């Protein structure tokens, strides 16, 4: 899991760097462009070592390829500025500001996705704990029910034993009384 998080963080860093290169249109961007391309190639190579489903690997591969293509588009060499000086194009400062705003939004979105991912893992762990708790409660409930049933049987047996004992005492008392009455009647 740490490898996936590291990959995500590295991708976000490279995406910001690519966005800054596009925004600034640096003349000395050749070294930075090469560094960006090397980082993207490294990310693509690391992608094969991550424990991800094939669909997720393909999605991430497309993201890396898109960054590689946007960083080296044929119409925008490393030294050119975005938008050029054509008629009707916005001034460079407005485009730079718009790109910075987009970068900020992308950073916020990446942070939000990361928080959402962490919360999802926490919710999953909590759900597993709830399932375990319910299973324990079910086992405890079965044990408690078995205990109650045995206590009920024991109480019924005691009640029956006491009632039989009481009946035996009454019969013994009546026998004694009957013997006394017979003795009184004979005398």
Instruction: Report the distance separating Cα 154 and Cα 157, nearest Å.
Output: 5
Q: Cα–Cα distances in Å, from 127 out to 58, 116, 118, 133?
A: 30, 16, 14, 10
pLDDT tens, position by position, 117-159: 989 999 999 999 999 988 888 888 888 888 889 999 988 888 8
pLDDT (0 to 100) of residue 62: 87
pLDDT (0 to 100) of residue 83: 42
Is pTM beyond 0.75? Reply is no
Instruction: Report the distance separating Cα 143 and Cα 135, nearest Å.
Output: 12
* Below-70 pLDDT ranges, the chain: 1-2, 25-29, 71-91
pLDDT (0 to 100) of residue 91: 67
Q: SS3 for 21?
A: helix
pLDDT (0 to 100) of residue 110: 85
pLDDT (0 to 100) of residue 77: 41
């Amino acid at each position: 899991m740490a490898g996936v998080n590291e990959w995500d963080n590295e991708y976000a860093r490279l995406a910001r760097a690519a966005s800054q290169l596009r925004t600034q249109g640096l003349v000395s961007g050749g070294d930075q462009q090469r560094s960006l391309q090397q980082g993207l190639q490294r990310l693509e190579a690391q992608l094969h070592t991550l424990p991800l489903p094939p669909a997720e690997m393909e999605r991430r591969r497309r993201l890396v390829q898109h960054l590689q293509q946007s960083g080296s588009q044929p119409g925008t060499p490393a030294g050119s500025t975005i938008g050029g000086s054509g008629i009707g194009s916005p001034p460079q400062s407005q485009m730079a500001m718009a790109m910075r705003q987009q970068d900020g939004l992308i950073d916020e979105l990446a942070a939000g996705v990361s928080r959402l991912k962490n919360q999802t893992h926490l919710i999953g762990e909590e759900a597993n704990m709830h399932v375990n708790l319910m299973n324990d409660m079910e086992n405890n409930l079965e044990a408690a029910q078995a205990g109650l049933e045995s206590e009920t049987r024991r109480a019924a047996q005691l009640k029956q034993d006491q009632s039989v004992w009481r009946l035996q005492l009454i019969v013994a008392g009546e026998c004694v009384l009957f013997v006394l009455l017979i003795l009184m009647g004979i005398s």
